């Protein structure tokens, strides 16, 4: 089954409920016009080194595919054939895989400026599904539009993407649940700052269930950890808005376990048959965290 064109993006329902809009990038943007020359993300996109006629030719190849994708719509499905990359200008997406038991496991989130598919352009099929968390805007870049002059930039972008995914999955696999939450908040703070927004006021486009799935922990464990951070005066949580009151304090906690939820300190872990502590069901299964 081939990828649906942007004009016929699948509307298969997802489990994601529409959320508050992701903050728009500061400065001018040309979402809807397909003009790379005025796009604030051009220095970090495929046509970064193009200008003049070569840039105009590239724009002409992709402009008609630039369009909005509604919250809850699936951009691409796991197993679909790959024939394009997608540049995200406005909004946010989640990448997820369908487990054998029918559940959905969130593998990544994507925000403005990201290029969807950098980890997969030389594969034949999408290894993950991508769905819009909110109303978003994407440019579809057909693979046949990526000519030789773009190969160097493509390799550079792929390398950066794989490095970031490796670092992210390493954090998720090798740290405690509390550290994962703190690292996640700091990562979002950095993204907000890069988009010209306040790094201390986070409006989450994803649900807490999606965030817990991504972090490899139970929803209850995520809620307890956020409550503990709030009790320590580090954050204030109101619905899907999180205010970071002590950014240096969060950075200090990133490298230690001082943020273990109080309730967890008194939990007696079940024993396995050999007497050793059983695995924490809230911890990440690192086998599921392979980079794809």
| DSSP state at residue 203 | E
More confident site: 148 or 81: 81
Distance of alpha carbon 220 from alpha carbon 217, whole angstroms: 8
Half-sphere exposure of 216 (CA within 13 A, CB side): 23
Distance of alpha carbon 45 from alpha carbon 184, whole angstroms: 24
Compute the CA torsion angle 100, 93, 14, 127 (nearest 10 deg): -30
Q: What is the CA radius of gyration of the chain?
A: 20
Closest CA to 259 of 272, 248, 269, 250: 250
- Tens digits of per-residue pLDDT, 91-144? 999 999 998 888 899 999 999 999 999 877 567 899 999 999 999 999 999 888
Write the CA distances from 139 to 24, 64, 88, 114, integer angstroms.
Answer: 16, 9, 7, 11
Answer whether 0.85 is exceeded by the pTM: no
Among the residue ranges 147-151, 252-256, 279-283, the one predicted with the least confidence is: 279-283
- Tens digits of per-residue pLDDT, 208-252? 999 999 999 999 999 999 999 999 999 999 999 999 999 999 999
Give me the residue label for tokens 């307890």: 224
Please, are residues 244 and 234 in contact by the beta-carbon 8 Å criterion?
yes
Distance of alpha carbon 184 from alpha carbon 182, whole angstroms: 5
Q: Furthest-apart CA pair in the chain: how many Å? A: 70
Output the six-digit token pair for 195.
């988009």
Angle between helices 177-194 and 148-174 (to 10 degrees): 150
Distance of alpha carbon 91 from alpha carbon 195, whole angstroms: 12
């Amino acid at each position: 089954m081939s990828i649906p064109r942007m004009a016929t993006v699948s509307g298969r329902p997802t489990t994601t409920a529409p959320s508050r809009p992701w903050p728009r990038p500061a400065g001018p943007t040309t979402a809807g016009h397909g003009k790379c020359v005025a796009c604030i993300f051009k220095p970090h996109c495929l046509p970064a080194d193009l200008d003049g006629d070569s840039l105009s030719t590239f724009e002409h190849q992709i402009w008609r595919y630039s369009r909005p994708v509604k919250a809850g719509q699936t951009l691409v499905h796991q197993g679909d054939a790959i024939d394009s990359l997608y540049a995200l200008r406005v909004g946010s997406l989640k990448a997820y895989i369908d487990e054998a038991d029918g559940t959905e496991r969130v593998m990544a989130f994507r925000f403005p400026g990201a290029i969807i598919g950098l980890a997969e352009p030389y594969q034949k099929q999408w290894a993950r599904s991508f769905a819009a968390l909110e109303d978003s805007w994407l440019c579809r870049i057909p693979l046949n539009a990526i000519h030789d002059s773009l190969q160097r930039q493509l390799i550079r972008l792929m390398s950066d993407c794989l490095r970031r995914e490796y670092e992210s999955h390493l954090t998720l696999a090798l740290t405690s649940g509390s550290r994962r939450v703190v690292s996640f908040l700091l990562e979002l703070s950095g993204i907000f700052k890069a988009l010209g927004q306040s790094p201390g006021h986070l409006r989450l486009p994803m649900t807490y269930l999606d965030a817990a799935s991504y972090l490899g922990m139970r929803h209850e464990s995520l809620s307890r950890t956020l409550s503990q951070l709030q009790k320590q005066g580090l954050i204030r949580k109101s619905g899907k808005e999180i205010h970071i009151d002590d950014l240096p304090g969060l950075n200090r906690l990133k490298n230690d376990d001082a943020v273990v939820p109080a309730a967890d300190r008194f939990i007696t872990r079940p024993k396995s048959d050999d007497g050793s502590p059983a695995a924490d069901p809230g911890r990440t299964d690192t086998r599921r965290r392979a980079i794809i």
